[in-house]
Amino acid sequence: MATYDLIVIGAGPGGYVCAIRAAQLGMKVAVVEKRKTLGGTCLNIGCIPSKALLHASEMFEEAGHGLGAFGIVVGAPKLDLPTMMKHKDDTVAANVNGVAFLFKKNKIDWIVGEGRIAAPGRVVAKGGDGAETTLEAKSIVIATGSDVAPLPGVEIDEKTVVSSTGALSLPKVPKKLIVVGAGVIGLELGSVWRRLGAEVTVVEFLDRILPGLDGEVAKQAQRMLEKQGLSFHLSHKVAKVDRAGGGVTTTIEPTEGGQASTLDADVVLVAIGRRPCIQNLDVEALGAKTERGMVAVDEKFATNVPGVYAIGDVIRGPMLAHKAEDEGVALAEILAGQAGHVNYGAIPSVVYTSPEIACVGKTEEELKADGVAYRVGKFPFTANGRARAMRRTDGFVKILADAASDRVLGAHVVGFGAGELIAEAVVLMEFGGSAEDLARICHAHPTMSEAVKEAALAVDKRAIHM
């Protein structure tokens, strides 16, 4: 029987990064993954393919509607969807093959099969042909990620009623698309198909979009998305989805009660969230505690079963690839006797709509609820020279700083390249920096990042360009 220092179950960004870091630290590592390719949800059916389509559809939109204002006259662009999908598939292939290369480089054994923990220290991997391989290790990491959360009573066939996975591979642009759920995934994929020509209607249970994000940011995002043609039914729930004549009729009802109405569409995208994937792992049989469907772990990612750990979407915290990666690194280092650590207060979050929305740290709502006295500095991109030059003036930067110490507690950016701009605030927060620190750092001119500096200056009411 093969014996390892570490067996990781699941090769998503949590699992594969943990495996690589552990191998770097001298451990003998095996990874059991049921999918035929490495990289998990993120690389195969999540972050990477969605960003390939988001970028391609943004270019299509720009070619159709954005270039004229720069004096570039082109004919109406034509969509070649198969080539756009090939771009997405090639991007995925390059990334998953890259992880396979890294496994070889780091001498990590990759076992294709569904893993279950038969006993502490023992993993059984069942291959596609049903053959079982038993492996032993000192430590086992559950990194099995998450799956699409189903909408009760609604069957996902990945053709007319799709999850994010089906929405990444639609064979043609739907005339009408209904998106159930105004979270990150629904809005990103809704944006893709809107830009490619679909009429997109978003149905959301809550009275706002992007739950969890700063309220002002979410309102601005909704206004921008409405301008782009998305329409919203907030405070509505889906009562029924009927397939008929190749289309779908969705019955929606106000959450507070009231008159039901119907929406017709060619495709319905169910994007109401994701749930941890712990089926078939024998977690409960092993005696490992779970909490609200997640594997329960302590601050060192240890479950209550000795030698069994868990990271990524399968445990508490935001379901984000970089959070899973950082936990993977931290755990490998802890297992090697080092002081691995994740600062959950400084994990950025990005919505890849156009423009992007990015945030880190506290929202205004959270600070109010916690009774923290804070100051706000805001700066709009309409007052930023580079944004004007690029016709990317939608959005703003908002910095929240502690009223007494001036320490930055949160940063929120709506605007072109927000996902890159937020990194500066993350670094600042990691080092416990203040708005004054940020305001005194020299920023290149002309850049969008000057708006970050100006927002920091605005905390002390001394923005220069406003």
Query: Residue numbers of the site for ligand FAD (CB under 6 A)?
Result: 9-15, 32-35, 40-42, 46-47, 50, 114-115, 143-146, 164, 185, 277, 280-281, 312-313, 319-322, 324, 352
For residues 138 and 297, give the distance between their C-alpha atoms in angstroms, rounded to a whole number. Answer: 18
The yes-or-no answer on residue 445 being catalytic is yes
For residues 9 and 5, give the distance between their C-alpha atoms in angstroms, rounded to a whole number. Answer: 14
Which residue number, 354 or 384, has a Cβ lying nearer to ligand FAD?
Answer: 354
Catalytic residue among 65, 87, 236, 445: 445
Location of structure tokens 């920091």: 456
User: Cα–Cα distances in Å, from 462 out to 67, 168, 395?
Assistant: 36, 46, 20
Determine phi and psi for 451, rounding to 5 degrees: -65, -30
Q: Are strands 122-126 and 132-142 parallel, antiparallel or unpaired?
A: antiparallel
Shortest Å, Cβ 314 to ligand FAD = 6
CB atoms within 10 A of CB 448: 23
For residues 406 and 464, give the distance between their C-alpha atoms in angstroms, rounded to a whole number. Answer: 19
Which residue number, 352 or 381, has a Cβ lying nearer to ligand FAD?
Answer: 352
**Which has the closest alpha carbon to 425: 411, 414, 407, 442?**
411
- List the alpha helices (DSSP H) in 362-405: 364-370, 385-389
Which residue number, 10 or 340, has a Cβ lying nearer to ligand FAD?
Answer: 10
For residues 283 and 32, give the distance between their C-alpha atoms in angstroms, rounded to a whole number. Answer: 16
End-to-end CA distance of the chain: 69
Which residue number, 376 or 426, has a Cβ lying nearer to ligand FAD?
Answer: 426
Helix axes 321-335, 13-24, angle to 10 degrees: 30
Helix (H, G, I), strand (E, B) or coil at 121: coil
User: Cα–Cα distances in Å, from 237 out to 101, 177, 182, 184?
Assistant: 45, 16, 12, 18
Shortest Å, Cβ 436 to ligand FAD = 31
Which residue number, 9 or 230, has a Cβ lying nearer to ligand FAD?
Answer: 9
Shortest Å, Cβ 67 to ligand FAD = 27
Residue of minimal Cβ distance to ligand FAD: 145
Shortest Å, Cβ 123 to ligand FAD = 9
Copy the structure tokens of residue 150. Answer: 């189903």
Shortest Å, Cβ 108 to ligand FAD = 15
Report the DSSP beta bridge partners of residue 374.
402
For residues 80 and 83, give the distance between their C-alpha atoms in angstroms, rounded to a whole number. Answer: 6
Shortest Å, Cβ 275 to ligand FAD = 11
Which residue number, 35 or 208, has a Cβ lying nearer to ligand FAD?
Answer: 35
Shortest Å, Cβ 277 to ligand FAD = 5
Q: Which amino acid is at 301?
A: F
Which residue number, 156 or 252, has a Cβ lying nearer to ligand FAD?
Answer: 156
Active-site residues, by number, are: 445
